[in-house]
Amino acid sequence: MYSKKTMKSALETLMFMWGEPLDVKDAAEVLEAEKAEVRELFRELMTEYEQEGRGIRIREAGDAFGYVTHVENDMFVQKLCTPVRVRRLSQAALEVLAIIAYRQPVTRSEIDSIRGIKSERVIDGLMDKGLVEVTGRSEGVGRPLLYGTTREFLKKFGFASLKDLPEVPEYEELRREREEEGGQLFLNFDAEEPEAAEAEEANSETETKAVEDINED
């Protein structure tokens, strides 16, 4: 049995070498220790890094732990890496990701129903970024694919688990009202679907012009 100091040192080395969040299970096998003990050592290291004001911190993601940089040092990282192009998620991608995060496992048709617009292309983009994955198949007709968030999602957004997702009572209340009315929750994404918005606006103008012509006659 290794000493506590030795195991903590080993965990630091393993996290550094692994590069991605290290599963408690894998670390426990390497250290020949119980998962509960190793998990507690990870969390002790997290606390020590925070109390000492280290530039590197340890973040919990699911049942895994990995290194991240201290957010207050971001300005120095930007200076070192400038110029850097950061790819941000579009409004549509953020909305679809939120739906999947809160409703998972969820099918594409359910996502489309909530948004009021097709989401296949957006889902594919989120999968390419490693934020969403297929988690299985529904038991419904045709057995459609079920989607859920990934560990990378937890890592990118700084969540230890899905339990850390902020509560959104407004969304849930609106969703229930729509379901009771027999309708769907429609979200407008003009930024993501500009052509559709322009077409709708053009049709509206045409109809208005036709009515004005009839009144003049």
- For residues 68 and 157, is the Cβ–Cβ distance under 8 A? no
Residue with tokens 């957004």: 157
Take residue 177 and report the two structure tokens written for it. 């009202």
pTM given for the model: 0.49
The model's confidence at residue 173, banded by pLDDT at 50, 70 and 90, is low
What is the topology classification, in CATH, of domain 91-186? Answer: Arc Repressor Mutant, subunit A (1.10.10)
d(CA 46, CA 59): 7
Same fold for the pair 4-74 and 91-186: yes
Domains of the chain by residue range? 4-74, 91-186
Q: Order the strands of the 106-107 sheet from edge to edge.
A: 106-107, 145-149, 132-137
CATH label, 4-74, candidates 3.30.9.10, 3.40.50.11710, 1.10.10.10, 1.50.10.20: 1.10.10.10
Query: How high is the pLDDT of residue 76?
Result: 87
In this prediction, what percent of the chain has a pLDDT beyond 90?
A: 50
Take residue 38 and report the two structure tokens written for it. 């190793």
Encode pLDDT of 10-19 as tens digits: 999 999 998 8
Encode pLDDT of 75-131 as tens digits: 888 777 765 444 678 888 999 999 999 999 999 999 999 888 899 999 999 999 999
* N-term to C-term CA, the chain: 96
Q: Look at residue 50 and tell me whether its pLDDT is greater than 70.
A: yes
